[in-house]
Amino acid sequence: MSENVGQTARIPLIGEKFPEMTVKTTQGVIELPKAYEGKWFVLFSHPADFTPVCTTEFVAFQKRFEEFKKLNCELIGLSIDQVFAHIKWIEWIKEKLGVEIQFPIIADDRGEIASRLGLIHPAKGTNTVRAVFIVDPNGTIRAMLYYPQELGRNMDEILRMIKGLQVGDENGVAIPANWPNNELIGEEVIIPPAATVKDAEERPKKFTCFDWWFCHKKL
């Protein structure tokens, strides 16, 4: 049974710390976000074990497991199932599909964690929706995604988001749509807005700009 998850609280928001909680997983008890201190992590919920769309998602996440690792990012799944169901399901995936799931899966059979994180949307039933929390090495929630049960996620977009957030942090820049294949500036990044009139006047002299408020550069 998890600890520190029974109290009623609002859904955590982008920019806030991921809630502290102790969870039971297929790889033992884990303290979140402490266990991943100094690393990025992606916590993702799935509606249920032994379901087709969820199975495709777990295989897709595992196929990209090493790519996440290269970004200093760990994966952790969650659904309202017991540990034995998780274990049996990942055994089935290994036996039938030849894919070994290497990341832990949280057992939330009482639904306490799901409720605390806002993963149960009553209009979509009592199972968890397909939520994604991207958390940085400081334990801060940097992005959140929500998908309905009937739509599987795009794992390459989750990888792109982590890469983009890391590039933005390291270089103090913003990331354009569809980066690194943006329709206007390709793989370049966007310079933050000018803070003063003088800065606005100097921007076009320092960077490539469509106008002073839209300047970009190569990394």
Catalytic residues: 54
DSSP per position, 26-55: TTEEEEETGGGTTSEEEEEE-S-SS-HHHH
DSSP code of 1? -
Task: Please give the sequence-ordered ranges of beta strands (E in DSSP) within 65-207, or none if there are none.
Answer: 73-79, 105-107, 130-135, 141-147, 189-190
Q: Say how far apart CA 80 and CA 91 lie, in whole Å.
A: 18
Return the HEC string of 69-90.
HHCCEEEEEEECCCHHHHHHHH
Token pair belonging to 16: 């806030």
Sheet with 214-217: list strands edge to edge.
189-190, 214-217, 208-211
Element (H, E) at 59: helix 52-63
Answer yes or no: are the C-beta atoms of 72 and 40 closer than 8 Å.
yes
